[in-house]
């Protein structure tokens, strides 16, 4: 996976993480029941602090893997990655737990693991860090990463099978590696976005309905643009509504900043102000942003209706 982290240092510091202050009164209100219990979609996502780290991460990881999401409010890639992890945690139905840690409020935890940048995601199993990556990643890659983790520890951590039995069967299954996807993922690991885009497009040329490739392609294209996006693009676009390139760049900046509705509204308005090629560019850019979210996302539905009104 692109952004993979060398775990040698993390493992060496695992004992330091174990010496975090003793548990306090528990995690925040998002904490759910133990693995295997019944719960709503938010039950498998917990907010963890320094006083609760020992109990909520290390001790829980003796039952199921705990995936630690190290984030901060100012971190734009974190705003892109965290919702994906939360959605996948809900789908996992307790086979793993997502522990969210604000590094600004809990600096000793990130220091204990020697974290150099955020977002950083660390999988803890049996009280030890076992897998990690940094930076926002395409959802298909994260799904595959989690599936491998669950399959690796299914026979070692009793809570995984307990959660799966409660859910009525195996929740997370690892799919056989597809060499076409492997080539795309290798390109991402090299930071070669054009090669990754070409690899995913090649899959879609043969299998136009391949949802995994389609989703990954949209993510790769957005990640490539987002890396080049200047946050000041929003100010520039607001100052000149007729600058089409500025509007497209500003929408990307807003999307990266989790201002989804603002990005959609900006592009809908841009479609309405333009005609011909300019209108087509704005519409296509908006549709590409739709593809970053689930088709039934209420924000996508509302924006599609608004787009239809300005087009027809």
Task: Give residue 96's pLDDT.
Answer: 96
DSSP state of 2: T
| Res 5: pLDDT | 55
pLDDT band at 29; cut points 50, 70, 90: very low
Is the domain of 74 the same as that of 140?
yes
Q: What is the mean pLDDT of the chain?
A: 83
Predicted pLDDT at 11? 52
Last residue of a domain, one of 137, 167, 197: 167
Are residue 130 and residue 251 in the same domain, yes or no?
no
Q: Are residues 246 and 214 in the same domain?
A: no
In a domain, 303, yes or no: yes
| Structural domain harbouring 186 | 178-228
Q: Would you say the C-alpha torsion 168, 169, 174, 176 has a positive or negative sign?
A: negative
Planar angle of CA 166, 172, 173, nearest 5 degrees: 130
Domain count, the chain: 3
Q: What are phi and psi of 105, to 5 degrees?
A: -85, -20
Q: Are residues 12 and 105 in the same domain?
A: yes
Can you tell me the mean pLDDT for 13-30?
A: 43
Q: How confident is the model at residue 40 (pLDDT cuts 50, 70, 90)?
A: very low
Q: Which helix (H) or strand (E) holds 165?
A: helix 158-167
Question: Does residue 187 share a domain with residue 105?
Answer: no
| pLDDT value for 189 | 80
In a domain, 173, yes or no: no
Instruction: Tell me the pLDDT tens digit for each residue of 277-293.
Output: 999 999 999 999 998 88
Q: Are residues 213 and 162 in the same domain?
A: no
Q: Does residue 254 share a domain with residue 145?
A: no
For the ranges 34-43, 137-146, 157-166, 299-308, the lowest mean pLDDT is seen at 34-43
| Domain assignment of residue 193, yes or no | yes
| 75: in domain | yes
Q: Using pLDDT thresholds of 50, 70 and 90, give the confidence band for residue 157.
A: very high
Asked if residue 172 belongs to a domain, the reply is no
Positive or negative CA dihedral for 15, 46, 126, 172?
negative
| Catalytic residue ranges | 75, 78
The pLDDT score that the predictor gives to residue 224 is: 87
């Amino acid at each position: 996976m692109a952004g993979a982290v060398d775990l040698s240092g993390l493992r060496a510091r695992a004992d330091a993480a174990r010496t975090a202050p003793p548990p306090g009164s528990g995690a925040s209100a998002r904490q759910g029941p133990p693995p295997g219990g019944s719960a709503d979609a938010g039950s498998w996502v917990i907010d963890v602090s320094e006083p609760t780290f020992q109990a909520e991460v290390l001790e829980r990881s003796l039952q199921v893997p705990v995936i630690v999401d190290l984030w901060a409010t100012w971190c734009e890639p974190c705003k892109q990655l965290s919702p994906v992890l939360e959605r996948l945690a809900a789908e996992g139905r307790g086979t793993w737990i997502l522990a969210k840690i604000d590094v600004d409020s809990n600096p000793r935890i990130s220091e204990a693991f020697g974290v150099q940048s955020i977002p950083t995601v660390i999988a803890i199993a049996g009280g030890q860090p076992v897998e990690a990556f940094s930076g926002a990643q395409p959802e298909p890659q994260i799904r595959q990463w989690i599936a491998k983790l669950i399959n690796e520890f299914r026979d070692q951590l009793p809570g995984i099978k307990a959660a799966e039995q409660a859910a009525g069967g195996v929740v997370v299954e690892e799919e056989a590696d597809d060499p076409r996807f492997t080539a795309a993922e290798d390109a991402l690991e090299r930071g070669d976005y054009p090669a990754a885009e070409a690899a995913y497009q090649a899959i879609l040329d043969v299998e136009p309905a391949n949802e995994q490739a389609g989703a990954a392609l949209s993510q790769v294209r957005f990640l490539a643009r987002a890396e080049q996006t200047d946050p000041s693009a929003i100010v520039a676009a607001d100052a000149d509504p007729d600058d089409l390139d500025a509007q497209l760049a500003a929408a990307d900046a807003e999307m990266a900043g989790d201002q989804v509705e603002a990005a959609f509204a900006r592009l809908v308005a841009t479609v309405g102000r333009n005609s011909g090629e300019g209108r087509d560019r704005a519409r296509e850019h908006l549709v590409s942003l739709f593809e970053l979210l689930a088709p039934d996302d209420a924000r996508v539905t509302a924006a599609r209706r608004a787009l239809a009104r300005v087009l027809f």
